[in-house]
Amino acid sequence: MSHPTLISVARRRFHALPHLRVDAALAVLITIVQLWPLISRESPQGGLWHWWGYTVAVAASVPLMWRRRAPFVVLLASGGVSTLYDLADNVADQPIWYGTLVALYTVAAYSRLGARIIAFAVTAAGGLLAVGSWETALRGTVLLVAAYAIGRAAATSRAHAAALEERAVRLEKERQMEAERAAQRERDRIARDMHDILAHAVSLMVVQAEAGPVVVRSDPARAEAAFDAIAEAGRDAMVQLRRMLGLLRDGETSRAPQPAIGDLPALAEQVAETGLRMTFDVRGKPRAVSPDCAVAAYRITQEALTNIVKHSGADHAGIRLTWEDHDLMIDITDDGRGGGRGLPSGGDGLIGIRERAAACGGTATAGPRTDGHGFAVSVRLPLARP
């Protein structure tokens, strides 16, 4: 462990101690220091010094036990008692009244501006009146100014540390809130993906299941293909759902690839197995798309095709990708007249399409086709900037 770390640990442990206990220990130390001139040498008259000196030395130091509870009162008590020291003749010289300096430091460190000004003025005036020479007055003034300055420096440092601690707490709360928001956004994204996966797979399975019994005797091969399509749709849904549930559980599968633009032809083929004639057209030169937009392009197309299978009653649907200079246009159209297979609808398909597009900085529109019967979904997604 490095020395700065040891110092910081010791500082934290010291500040964690009860204030009264620390101040009591300080009062005992100052008392010993103030008594030292009286106990370290004998009186010129022999033996002990006058009892008055011992009394004042103790009385000027003991109030420091309560210095943080009542700084101004402690300063007046300590400073006032110390001025009475010379009332007796047979006392040792006291070079410095440490109790008064500590009390003034405490006022400077913990009191308001008005109390600090009054305390400094009273202490300085009392000290000047009590001294006997200009040399002593100058030394005392310098010590008082130093004690006051150190107290203000300590107050500033404490306020700065408190501000830093408050800022750290605020930043931690903001970080936690942002993490919660990110987690909520991820849960919402996964919920949308699961909705799209289930809606698409179930729609295909229902369509194939309805067609199977019709052709099971007249066209066994087509019936077998329908049941194979049901199994394939179920397996594909299970794989994608397992990946989504893995993300919700522990995030261990977050690196698993998500379906993207390159998987759209396979999606079109899967939908074509329901008997819907599908066309897939690409115009322009493919360019780079951000991963989020690539996944959104697949999910939007999947949702649009699911709506066609469930509700349009169409015979033909088409997917067209148009690669422009800065955007990718996706158009999904059908020739339906509505009133398709009557499958249940959550009512959020088009809303989800718009939200997915907006999340990538794109736009989405949906409505009846202007060039004939049917419905059209048009999506514009931004390309990745080089």
Q: Mind listing the pLDDT tens digit for each residue in 263-276?
A: 999 989 888 887 78
Of 81 and 250, which is predicted with more confidence?
81
Q: Domain coordinates of the chain in residue numbers?
A: 3-130, 275-386
Q: H-helix or E-strand containing 378? A: strand 375-382
pLDDT digits (tens, 9 = 90+) for 154-191: 999 888 988 988 998 898 888 888 878 877 776 777 67
Q: For the chain, what is the largest distance between any 2 Cα atoms, rounded to a whole number of angstroms?
A: 136
Confidence of residue 153 (pLDDT cuts 50, 70, 90): very high
**Structure confidence at residue 236 (pLDDT):** 72
| 8 A C-beta contact, residue 301 and residue 197 | no
Give the helix ranges, DSSP H, for the chain.
Answer: 3-16, 19-39, 51-59, 71-82, 98-110, 113-130, 134-215, 220-249, 264-272, 291-307, 349-359
Give the pLDDT of residue 377: 93
Is residue 341 within a helix (H) or strand (E), and if so which, with residue range? none
Q: What single-letter amino acid sits at 94?
A: Q
Q: Is 275-386 in CATH node 3.30.470.10?
A: no
Integer CA distances (angstroms), 66 to 20, 21, 62, 116, 378, in order: 7, 10, 9, 17, 77
User: What pTM did the predictor assign?
Assistant: 0.48
Please state the φ and ψ torsions of residue 43, each to the nearest 5 degrees. -70, 145
Q: What is the pLDDT averaged over residues 284-308?
A: 87
